[in-house]
Structure 1
Amino acid sequence: MIFSEPILNSFTWLNFLNGGLQPPLLATTNEAEYAPIVLTGVLLSLVVIYLASKIGGELFRMMDLPPVLGELVGGVLVGASALHLVVFPDSGAAGSDSIIMTILQFINNLSPDAVTSIFKSQSEVVSVLAELGVIILLFEIGLESDLKELQKVGYQATIVACVGVAVPFTAGTAGLILLFHAPVIPAIFAGAALTATSIGITSKVLSEIGQLKSREGQIIVGAAVIDDILGIIVLAVVASLAKTGEVDIFNVIYLIVSATVFLIGSILLGKYFNQSFVAIAEKLQTRGNLIIPAFIFAFFMAFLGSAIHLEAILGAFAAGLVLDETDKRKELDEQVKPVADMLVPVFFVTVGAKVDLGVLNPLVPGNREGLIIATFLIAIAIIGKVVTGWAVFGQPGINRLAVGVGMIPRGEVGLVFAAIGAASGTLDKPLQAAIVIMVILTTFLAPPLLRFAFKQSPEEKEALKEANLIG
């Protein structure tokens, strides 16, 4: 499978590029009588997704690897690369490619047109559940982060993010032009794809290994948030360049200003909101008196982020940071976890399910050129982010390798670049395949590498402890 449409965060990115159009309605079909069958398909898909996430997570935990990597691998096995149980039309699959749709067709004696309609609607519902999963994940990460500590490393995170965008973009673009004689605009688009960082994957691994609140973890999360904002701006620039041959300066300025005002403003206003939030939660007497107001706030912030052409996950993260300052934070954190346990695996399994390892097969002639270019892009993708750890200064004893490795995974964000580049006709198939391969490998390599980077000898741990005491 070569990704032909953006995944998971596609609504947010494509809304921006398409003038703010709303996503398709959930679970709609051409005929109302298909609605129960759509629900059946969604339920069966969730059964497969939860089995894949739990089995994969447990197996990788037994091997002392991050469970999130097991969820990604579980998604690969049930998705387009292997069992074809969970596949999506925006990745080029048809209803006949889905084993679940085949089962539904057999049970309900459906026509091919009905299968196509049901498959599309069922896939939309699962995709939106995945979107909700990553929104809740970032809300949870915001709750687990320490705003005061994050503010302390804010300038460091900004430097790391800027270096993590500038180095891979420059090296990737220049290398494609000089070494592979790629046209300028496609080279710029591919270079832009190298700038992405998946905050969802990195933050989940940091949380699992107990490093989210470390100095390195706070720098990584802060840099990933800023990197996401910079990624939106870069995407806007290269998309305008691909479409018109020139950059819309007004849009770029708008994105920079709106992103800055949104994040800083939400955090500052949050100080006044905290007391009101606690007062409301204490007055409510029915079940969910704490978690429901929290989700109202989180989803509203996510809506605002999406409405001003940023990402919904940034709004959710900001909401988590704000509520982290309340007296109810620990209680709220415990109540959010079961909800996250239900929806976050849908996100990670779906990411894996949309991966097609077929693009790695060198026996397919069409893949060979892409594999050669991908080798170059992977090297730039890894080196260009690892060097960011050495952009940190004034932090004695900091684990620079961990900071750099934490910025490596491109995840769903990198696939958005590839998909939009392909949809616009900017990228040819070899270059598109190369970007997809780069995204796949950086996504799967980052969790074990991050775990390895944080494994320190007792001497190193003692030195780091002393440095912290001195600092």
Structure 2
Amino acid sequence: MFSIAAIAQSIIPSISTLPMPHTFIATMESESAPIILSGVLLTLIVIYLASKIGSEIAKRLDLPPVLGELVAGVIVGVSALRLVIFPEGGFTAADSLIMTILQSLNQLTPEAVNHVFDQQSEVISVLSELGVIILLFEIGLESDIRQLKEVGIQAFVVAFIGVIAPFAGGTIGLMYFFHVAAIPAIFAGAALTATSIGITSKVLAEIGQLKSKEGQIIVGAAVIDDVLGIIVLAVVASLAKTGEVDITNVFILLISAIAFLFGSILLGGIFNKTFVALVSSLKTRGNIVIPAFIFAYIMAFIGNAIHLEAILGAFAAGLVLDETDARNELDELIKPVADLLVPIFFVTVGAKADLSVLNPTISENRSGLLIAGFLILVAIMGKVITGWVVFGVPNVNRLAIGIGMVPRGEVGLVFAGIGTASGAIDKPLEVAIIIMVILTTFLAPPFLRLAFGKTSEPPAGGELATE
């Protein structure tokens, strides 16, 4: 986590294991802080340039701009230029061109530059997390809670089948065809379950389909999918660690998720009047947007504190404020903030995609590539079929619903990371999961657009800011 104590420790170069005087520690902190800031600023310059160039090229090619941001992230990330990289991928400051520049300019020791790299990466990661929180808050504001209620049952069925089908298909297939042991197979199957709501919802907004019946079913199902995915992760992580499932923990997570989501919706009627009264009483700049962000962050904090996702809390906050009289004005005020932070999320997702796992000349990749082919098939088919379980909605685009559930994004990478850290999965299986995540993330945006067909420009006030 991003704490003052962690920052203080990571900034100080570990030159000696002997205790150091407090004055020396303070001196090192003050010397390192400007260098860390320089690293953050250079990284943000790269991210913003990559985001804008990528989205503009994608727009001119009639592709979703978010796809351009993801591809731009790949180019500046670990697979190409290595301008935006992170230590959790096993990289060090020596792998980063930005850190090399900072080391040369400031004559840093290898130990010092590695600590600067760690801290700078932490800041960018936090900004990325804030970006996706704001994105989901904005999605909540753009969603119609009444329409979500109308498609609630259909969204639940889509989410449930979208979790069960790929999980069962992946687990059983790995055990039967590839003779993978039970626990690794279960972990890989679990990595197939969750949908990346951030990527799908951004594409829906860009093509003007967020408020369509299909869009609302996809968003609702993706939210439920996220909750179910967290519960599945808790189960398999417990299984990998102890060999048995902690039923109490799973039950608590399930009850917390239900209470949180339904409680948030019920809160809307009570909170809306309070919010409007508060906004009316404030006379300084930010009288609408600051209280709105305070509420969104409180909800995100609660979601995170009860071991759900912070993004679920932000989405719930957006749904609640969607009912207020200040909603239209709030939409416009949030767009510039989203324009600054959301691209950081999408570029970093692309930057973390290590395409070297696709290289068949590396021996440990070969078996992973074979398994990856199977996982990709299950990952796509297990979600696409969900469009055909929708009932009671006439003339619905079933293919679009299924494709909208396909991208795994950062969620699948979390599963792979936890599986590797716990020792539950080996390198070939990890490679296979990463390849599955990369391809489903990059293939879904253009195919989702194709599934909806040529769409006219969204009406004013009905889309998220994409320019």
TM-score (norm 2): 0.92
In structure 2, distance between residues paired with 1:150 and 1:252? 26
Deviation at 1:267, TM superposition (A): 1.1
- Answer yes or no: is 1:29 the counterpart of 2:11: yes
Q: How many residues align?
A: 439
- Please report how far the alpha carbon of residue 282 of structure 1 lies from its aligned counterpart in structure 2 after TM superposition: 1.1
Structure 1 residue aligned with 2:17: none
Q: Secondary structure at the match of 1:437?
A: helix
Partner of 1:101: 99
Residue 185 (structure 1) aligned with residue 208 (structure 2): no
Shift of 1:330: 0.6
Q: Separation in 2 of the partners of 1:25 and 1:285? A: 38
Q: Deviations over 1:97-134 (max 9, x none)?
A: 00000000111111111100100000000000000000
| Match among 205, 220, 223 for residue 207 of structure 1 | 205
AA aligned to 1:331 is E
**Paired position in structure 1 for 2:137:** 139
Query: Offset at 1:26?
Result: 5.5
For 1:411, which of 394, 404, 409 is the aligned residue?
Answer: 409
Match of 1:197 among 192, 195, 198: 195
Aligned counterparts of 1:407 and 1:273: Cα–Cα separation in 2? 32
Offset at residue 295 of structure 1 (A) = 0.2
Q: Assess, with a 3 A threshold, how the Cα gap between structure 1 residues 348 and 291 changes in structure 2: closer, same or farther.
A: same
Distance 1:320 1:23 in 2: 30
Give the deviation of 1:402 after TM superposition: 0.3
SS in 1 for 2:180: coil
- Equivalent residues of 1:189, 1:421 under 8 A apart: yes
Correspondence for 1:54: 52
CA offsets 1:292-330 (integer angstroms, 9 cap, x no match): 000000000000000111100000000000000001101
Amino acid at match of 1:122: Q
Q: Distance in 2 between matches of 1:455 and 1:250?
A: 46
| Counterparts of 1:62 and 1:24, CA distance in 2 | 47
Aligned to 1:233: 231
CA gap of 1:453–1:245, structure 2 versus 1, over 3 A, is same
d(CA) in 2 for partners of 1:24 and 1:347?
25
| Cα distance change, pair 451–26 in 1 and its aligned pair in 2 (3 A) | farther
Taking the aligned partners of 2:378 and 2:80, their CA distance within structure 1 comes to 29
Partner Cα distance (1:24, 1:382) in 2:
43
Provide Cα deviations, 1:375-409, integer angstroms capped at 9, x if missing partner.
00000000000000001011110000000000000
Give the Cα separation in 1 of the matches to 2:451 and 2:188: 28
Equivalent position SS for 2:443: helix
Q: Which of 269, 272, 278 in structure 2 is aligned with 1:271?
A: 269
1:288-303 alignment, distance < 5 Å = 288-303=286-301
The whole-number CA distance in structure 2 between the counterparts of 1:89 and 1:457 is 41
The question of whether the paired residues in 1 share the 8 Å contact of 2:208 and 2:455 is answered with no
Q: Distance in 1 between matches of 2:454 and 2:69?
A: 26
CA distance in 2, matches of 1:24, 1:392: 50
What is the aligned-residue identity percentage?
A: 70
Partner amino acid for 2:109? Answer: S
Give 2:18's aligned residue: none
Q: How far off is 1:432 after superposition?
A: 0.5
How far the C-alpha of 1:359 sits from its partner, in A, is 0.3
Other-structure match for 1:174: 172
Partner of 2:255: 257
Q: Deviations over 1:174-210 (max 9, x none)?
A: 0000000000000000000000110000000000000
Shift of 1:22: 7.3
In the other structure, the counterpart of 2:354 is 356
Partner residue in 2 for 1:468: none
The one-letter code of the counterpart of 1:391 is V
- Cα distance in 1 for residues equivalent to 2:230 and 2:106: 44
TM-aligned CA distance change 1:267 to 1:23, over 3 Å: farther
CA distance in 1, matches of 2:436, 2:5: 30
Structure 1 counterpart of 2:90: 92
**Does the 8 Å contact 1:26/1:124 carry over to 2?**
no
Which residue identity lines up with residue 76 of structure 1 in the other structure?
A: V
Which of 115, 118, 123 does residue 125 from structure 1 map onto? 123
Asked if the contact 1:169–1:195 (Cα under 8 Å) also holds between the matched residues in 2, the reply is: yes
| Structure 2 partner of 1:325 | 323
User: How far apart in 1 are the matches of 2:107 and 2:280?
Assistant: 53
Q: Which residue of 1 aligns with 2:382?
A: 384
CA distance in 1, matches of 2:53, 2:36: 26
Distance 1:271 1:222 in 2: 20
Amino acid at match of 2:11: T
Conserved? CA contact 1:139–1:320, under 8 Å: yes
2: distance between equivalents of 1:410 and 1:25? 31
* CA pair 272-26 structure 1, distance change in 2 beyond 3 A: farther
Name the CA distance, whole Å, in 1 between partners of 2:347 and 2:4: 22
Q: CA deviation at 1:362?
A: 1.1
- Residues 23 and 262 of structure 1, relative CA distance in 2, 3 Å threshold: farther
Gaps of 5+ in 2: 13-27, 457-467
Question: Could you tell me which residue of structure 2 aligns to residue 399 of structure 1?
Answer: 397
The equivalent residue for 2:306 is: 308
- For residues 162 and 55 of structure 1, the distance between their equivalents in structure 2, rounded to whole angstroms, comes to 38
Paired amino acid for 2:242: T
Letter in 1 for 2:275: F
Q: 1:363: Cα distance to partner? A: 1.6
1:211-226 mapped onto 2 (5 Å cutoff):
211-226=209-224
Report the CA distance shift for 1:86/1:404 in structure 2 as closer, same or farther (over 3 A): same
Q: In structure 2, what is the equivalent of residue 156 of structure 1?
A: 154
Letter of the structure 2 residue corresponding to residue 395 of structure 1: V
Structure-1 residue corresponding to 2:443: 445
Of 66, 71, 74, 1:73 maps to: 71
Separation in structure 1 between the aligned mates of residue 70 and residue 269 of structure 2, nearest angstrom = 37
CA distance in 2, matches of 1:117, 1:244: 34
